[in-house]
Amino acid sequence: MKRGQISLDFLFAVTLIALTMVNLVYVANSERSHAETFDTATKLKIFSVDVRDSLTKVYAAGNGFTLRKGAPFTLQGGDYINITLSPADNLINVTAMIGGETYRVVQKSPVPILGESSVKLTPENPEFYITAQYNETEGRLYVKVSS
Partner 1 sequence: MKRRGGCTSRYHRRAQTSIEALFITAILLTGILIAIPPYLNENRMTSAVVYVRNSASNACAYLNTGVVVNGSEYTPVNRIIEADNYTYGGFQVSGISSIESADRITVNVRIVYTGSELPGRSIQGNITAFIKNDLVSSTNVNVDNGKLYLNGKELEINVSVVRR
21 binds partner 1 (CB under 8 A): no
Select from 14, 38, 78, 146 the one that contacts partner 1 (CB under 8 A).
38
**Residues with Cβ < 8 Å from 80, sequence gap 6 or more?**
96, 97, 120, 121, 122
**Contact string 45-64 vs partner 1 (x = CB under 8 A):** x-------------------
- Whether residue 63 contacts residue 134, with contact meaning beta carbons closer than 8 Å, is answered with yes
Q: Angle at CA 10, nearest 5°, toward 6 and 16?
A: 155
1 binds partner 1 (CB under 8 A): yes
**Contact string 89-118 vs partner 1 (x = CB under 8 A):** ------------xxxxxxx-----------
Q: Which is nearer to partner 1, 15 or 137 (CB)?
A: 15
- The Cα–Cα gap between 141 and 60 comes to 10
